[in-house]
Structure 1
Amino acid sequence: MNRQVFEGIQAICDTHARHLSWAMQQLEQLQPFTPELLSGLEPVQLAIFDQFIIRFSKLQDAMGMKLLPAVLELSFDDSSPAFIDKLNKLEKLGALSSTTQWLKFREMRNQFSHDYPDDPQIQCALLVKGFAMAADLLGELRRVESYSAQFL
């Protein structure tokens, strides 16, 4: 993997992270999230919640599908095709803090992909859980980028 390709992948992740951070800052003032709050959102507030969900999902996906495999390629260790093996290797190398945590991020992304327009209780529970995990996802991106810097 050449440096330019890796930096392009990194730039995509950084864009998602920047937009996710912005949405988190905007939503901070609406906490605590409740079903009643979600039922009464103004269109702009709803768009910010959507931005949060989309950027969380896109960041997790871009990291899992592109950045993490690229890190293994950079570190000259892309031996196993199984994704779980790659995650375990990245944890062992110190590029990821925890395989288990990464799988939780992926599960959160999967949960966000389901829409529950008629159930504010489920929507609220997902947003509360996702908001709590978002800072950890952003931290994981920084950890991966820090680890990768030694190979660039």
Structure 2
Amino acid sequence: MQEAFQGSLDICERHAERLRWAINRLGDRFPLSPADLDEFSDIDLAVVDQFIMRFSKLQDAIGAKLLPGVLELTKEPGNYPAFIDKLNRLEKIGAIPSASQWLQLREMRNQFSHEYPDDPQIQASLLNKAFSLATVLLDAFEHIKAFSLPYQNPSN
């Protein structure tokens, strides 16, 4: 179990590193207006794609692999059939800062799955919202890592 959890952490760390890179690369461009998107070079658009992909992949990997792994590591009793039940338990034990915050991050990831190529207003709005939430996502990841550390090395 420890090895699988470490593998999930490693995957999340890779996504987080690339998300941080994209944030640093795009940081001075935010907040975006719809007109700003028209001025983006192909390189800028590739970085935006990287940002969207890494935000989505990090949020998904944490939700699908890391959070269930935390429940296993901590040997939390009970059955959590619904995802919200898992989130509420994780919040209660201090593994995540907020269940509602996590749902907001998940919703942002879901919004990225819809494309609006002909609506720069929606594109700019989504990117601005995601850019502010990216720090929240990265902070949540760091929080989960710190919380799980004692459970990964129980002999310490």
- Scaled to the shorter chain, the TM-score interval is over 0.9
Q: Indicate the residue corresponding to 1:122 in structure 2.
A: 122
Determine the C-alpha separation between the residues in 1 that align with 2:105 and 2:144: 15
Aligned ranges 1:47-66 → 2 under 5 Å = 47-66=46-65
Determine the C-alpha separation between the residues in 2 that align with 1:4 and 1:32: 40
Deviation at 1:122, TM superposition (A): 0.1
Higher deviation after alignment, 74-83 or 7-16: 74-83
Q: Indicate the residue corresponding to 2:38 in structure 1.
A: 39
Task: Please identify runs of 4+ aligned residues in structure 1 that moved more than 2 A.
Answer: none
Determine the C-alpha separation between the residues in 2 that align with 1:28 and 1:6: 32
Deviation at 1:84, TM superposition (A): 0.6
Higher deviation after alignment, 75-84 or 55-64: 75-84
Structure 2 contact 59–106 (Cα < 8 Å) conserved: yes
Deviation at 1:83, TM superposition (A): 0.9
Deviation at 1:150, TM superposition (A): 1.1
Residue by residue over 1:127-147, the C-alpha shift from the partner in whole angstroms, topping out at 9 and shown as x without a partner, is 000000000100000000111
Deviation at 1:81, TM superposition (A): 2.0
Q: Indicate the residue corresponding to 1:27 in structure 2.
A: 26
Percent of aligned pairs sharing the same letter: 52
Determine the C-alpha separation between the residues in 1 that align with 2:30 and 2:141: 25
Q: Indicate the residue corresponding to 2:12 in structure 1.
A: 13
Deviation at 1:5, TM superposition (A): 1.1
Deviation at 1:39, TM superposition (A): 1.5
Deviation at 1:79, TM superposition (A): 2.4
Alignment: residue pair count: 151
Deviation at 1:31, TM superposition (A): 2.4
Q: Indicate the residue corresponding to 1:113 in structure 2.
A: 113
Give 5+ residue unaligned stretches, structure 1.
Answer: none
Structure 2 contact 96–144 (Cα < 8 Å) conserved: yes
Residue by residue over 1:4-53, the C-alpha shift from the partner in whole angstroms, topping out at 9 and shown as x without a partner, is 11110000000000000000000012223110111221000000001000
Q: Calculate the aligned-residue CA RMSD, in Å.
A: 0.8
